[in-house]
Amino acid sequence: MSAQPAMHLPPPDVIALPTAAGLLRASTGEESHAFTPSVTWLTLSDQSSLNAVRREWDALIDEADAAFFCAPDWIDTWRDTIAPKVRPRVLTGWNADGRLRAIWPLGLAIEGGGVARCRVLSPM
C-alpha cells in the first residue's frame, strides 16, 4: 500500500491491530478515503464481555487475514499460561451497523511494589 496524504486513512471497513507487531493491517480497496469518525470505540475489561464478542472477533481476524496472534483463542491461552495476572483492556471499534471493525487487545498489569507500584498497559 502506498503512503497516503495526511488525514486520509483507509475506510474503517476491515481493520485489525495485531498485538505483538503493533502494526496496522487493513484489507480495503485501493481508493483513498478521507477519515470520518464513523466508528464507536468501546473498551472491554472482563472475560464475559470478551466472550460476547468472540464470534465477531474471529470473523474480523479471518476477514483481515491477520496473524493468529490476534485471535481470541491465542490471547486467552497466553493470558492463562504466561500472564494470569494481566487484566484485559481490549479496545473495540464498531461501525454504525453494529459490526466489529477494529480490535486492539491490551492488557493491564501492576508492576513493582510499595510506593513504586505502577499500572502498565501493553499489547497482549
- Rounded to an integer, the average pLDDT of 61-88 is 88
Q: What is the mean pLDDT of the chain?
A: 75
State pLDDT tens for residues 78-103.
889 988 888 999 999 998 888 999 99
CB distance 19 to 75 below 8 Å: yes
Separation between Cα atoms, residue 58 and residue 37, nearest integer Å:
24
Domains of the chain by residue range = 8-28+35-123
Q: Of 37 and 58, which is predicted with more confidence?
A: 58
- Rounded to an integer, the average pLDDT of 96-114 is 89
Find the angle CA(62)-CA(84)-CA(65) to the nearest 5 degrees: 10
Model pTM? 0.65
